[in-house]
Structure 1
Amino acid sequence: MYKRILLPTDGSKNSEKAIKHACNLASKEGAEIVIIYAVDSKHLTSLPEDALDDDTEFVFEEHDDVVTKHVEELVKEIDENIKVSIIIAEGDPANAILKVSEKEDMDIVVIASSGKHILDRFLLGSVTSKTIKYSTIPVLVIPTNSD
């Protein structure tokens, strides 16, 4: 039923809670987990021009690698037989999740109910909310207070 599981991450502890659920599903279904990390570059436009230099792109790429490799390691700790792929996307995270879920033929999205934004602690995260609202595939939402 599920062959490709999309696992969004923003590097937060909350987003890590979805990992074991994605792994459990992948192990039972023999599915691949596709980790997606989206960099929302629109927030960079408010920075002063001199704050961005040639090394800025390298720093973001390095951060992408650290976050996604950490998630991949956590998946492999749970079940080393799960196939893992990584997608780094640029732009609005919810839009990236929706676009990748369609273009890459995902079967389900496993996502935490909120990420690292402070307001997400009080509300359903905006990325999660938009993903639920516009997704054409099932979305499994893992609450922040789950084990």
Structure 2
Amino acid sequence: MEQTELQEFKKILIPLDGSKLAEGALKYGMSIAEKFKAEIIIVSVFSSKNPDGIFKHRIRETDPELSLEIEKMPIALLMENYHNVIKKAGKAHGVSVRGVLKDGEVSTKSVVNFLHEVFEKENPDLVILSSHGRTGFNKLKLGSVTEELIKIHGMSVLCVK
């Protein structure tokens, strides 16, 4: 059997929709990034036209008092704070994390198009995402996003269930 060189990951892209499933992909990403000293790029699409998204819903479930403050917060600021929390977690593990946010339509087609733009710009070595997800903004099956990414880019994709 011929020996092959191991793949080295320098940039790992992780699309996040705020769901627990998507955040499962983040755990794998942090672990891989730590081992390879790779940078993580988190990408989220949200809609300020539908501000009652999954983040506010999850906070309502976990902390009703904080929920009152969150209700008044613009979704763009909430998303930015969400990314900042992830960046701090990365820093605690010695992992560099950058975030890319887009305020726009949350549909499979628009998310795939935006991810395509990010891939062209960032050229990640690995994409880690959940097998499917569901946002509070709109029903979005990440399985269809995963399928499109593999078809269009043919890149390494780790799909977390």
Q: Distance in 1 between matches of 2:29 and 2:19?
A: 16
Partner of 1:49: none
Contact 2:41–2:98 (8 Å) recurs in 1: yes
Q: Distance in 2 between matches of 1:82 and 1:106?
A: 16
Distance 1:128 1:19, change over 3 A: same
Partner of 2:95: 82
1:1-147 paired onto structure 2 within 5 Å: 1-39=8-46, 44=49, 59-76=74-91, 79=93, 81-91=94-104, 92-117=110-135, 125-143=143-161
Note the C-alpha offset of 1:74. 4.3
Helix, strand or coil at the partner of 1:87: strand
Note the C-alpha offset of 1:133. 2.6
Note the C-alpha offset of 1:86. 0.8
Q: Which has the larger radius of gyration?
A: 2
Question: How many residue pairs end up in the alignment?
Answer: 125
Note the C-alpha offset of 1:113. 0.8
Quote the sequence identity (%). Answer: 31
Partner of 1:53: none
Note the C-alpha offset of 1:115. 1.3
Return the letter of the residue paired with 1:66.
Answer: N
Note the C-alpha offset of 1:90. 4.0
Contact 1:39–1:93 (8 Å) recurs in 2: no
Deviations 1:63-84 (A, max 9, x none): 321332343344445x2x0011
Helix, strand or coil at the partner of 1:72: helix
Contact 1:18–1:111 (8 Å) recurs in 2: yes
TM-score normalised to the size of structure 2?
Answer: 0.65
TM-score normalised to the size of structure 1?
Answer: 0.71
Return the letter of the residue paired with 1:67.
Answer: Y
CA RMSD of aligned residues (A): 2.6
